[in-house]
Copies of this chain bind each other. A is one copy, B any other.
Amino acid sequence: MARIVESVPNFSEGRRSDVVAAIADEVARSGPVRVLDLSSDPDHNRSVLTLAGDPEVVTRALEALVAACVARIDLRSHRGRHPRMGAVDVIPFVPVQGVTMEECVRAARALGERIAARHGLPVYLYEEAATSEGRRDLAAIRKGEFEGFPEKMKDPLWKPDFGPERVHPTAGCVAVGAREFLIAYNINLATRDVEVARRIAKAIRHSSGGLRFVKAMGLLLEDRGLAQVSINMTDFRRTPLHRVFEMVRSEAERYGVAVAGSEIVGLVPQEALLQAAEFHLRLEGFDPGKVFERRLEEAASGSVPAPVGGRPAGPGVPDAR
């Protein structure tokens, strides 16, 4: 099985499409990395690349990304609605397949050290790669943003993990970390009453007493006239999609409100959806290795798996072959 990490670097350019394209192009040409997605938001003035591949390949792509962004982005003239502290603002490593979180932490630290040395960038390690509890949270690191960092860095508490103790004049600072796969999941309610969505968000999110790996807020979808519980699932293996959905449904019922539907923003790992199928179909002893596509991928040609005793598939109903 191929070793695969995902990385979702965010960089501070979402308006000049030629600059975004040039940066993405240098990433793609760095080696056999796979570029799964590129999303730019002019309002945020920010872009997000989704990369995947072998850890070494992804690391090389990220080095190319940092060089391209440092050369092309000047934060002194950058304005946008999303908070940011760097030309490359944040770089997470995410274990996907055949790679441990520990390896992602090591990859994040190695990359951080290298880009600090090469570009004179202050680097902060966050989440699983953080060097202290106070640096786990990305929002806490980014607080003050590019403009506030010269002041913030005077505090020894905010000495960077790598690089100089002063902000890069045009490229700011960068956060590099390791985390679980993040699923952006929204549940729409059959009501215009945003207050219901806010109360449900409060009930399900970790920060106010809810599920361990859930962040949530309530908002109104003006165009559809529906209230929405907007959710970030930060560890879908431990807090699965179907549990969040069932909890939202049950909380909504208490207000006499039905769930109109749900949506996944961006990509979702197959496993997260298989978990939901397994739960609702009450599958006994389900093994993802029974998924045809998985078995196909694992089966090497030219070899035969050990014969399995017992009856062939479909024991109950003869003659369906």
Using a CB–CB distance below 8 Å, which chain A residues touch chain B? Answer: 4, 6, 8, 10, 17, 20-21, 24-25, 27-29, 31-44, 46-48, 52-53, 82-83, 89-90, 92, 96, 137-139, 142, 181-182, 184, 186, 188, 215-217, 219, 228, 230-232, 234, 241-242, 245, 259-270, 273-274, 276-286, 290-296, 299-321
Is the beta-carbon distance between A319 and B138 smaller than 8 angstroms? yes
- Chain B residues contacting A138 (CB-CB under 8 Å) are 319-321
Q: Assess whether A44 is in contact with B296, with CB atoms less than 8 Å apart.
A: no
Residues from chain B with Cβ under 8 Å of A216 in the complex: 316-317
Contact partners of A43 in chain B: CB under 8 A? 311
Interface pair B308/A39, CB less than 8 Å apart: yes
* A321 proximity list for chain B (CB < 8 A): 8, 10, 89-90, 92, 138, 182
Whether A301 and B36, one on each chain, are in contact in the complex, defined by CB atoms closer than 8 angstroms, is no
- The answer to whether A308 and B28 touch (CB under 8 A), given A291-B270, A318-B83, A319-B83, is no
**A242: chain B residues within 8 A (beta carbon):** 277, 280-281
Q: In the bound complex, do residue B302 and residue A37 qualify as a contact, i.e. CB atoms below 8 Å apart?
A: no
Cβ B276 vs Cβ A261 within 8 A? no
Expressed in whole angstroms, the Cα–Cα distance for A265 and B308 within the complex equals: 13
Q: Quick one: which of B34, B42, B52, B302 contacts A300, CB cutoff 8 A?
A: B34
Given contacts A232-B314, A280-B242, A280-B280, A37 and B295 within 8 Å (CB-CB)? yes
Q: Pick the contact of A303 from B28, B182, B231, B267 — CB < 8 Å?
A: B28
Q: Which residues from chain B contact A29 at a C-beta distance below 8 Å?
A: 302
Beta-carbon nearest neighbor of A90 in chain B: B321
User: How far, in whole Å, are A29 and B182 apart by their CA atoms in the complex?
Assistant: 43
Contact of A261 among B188, B284, B293 (CB under 8 A): B284
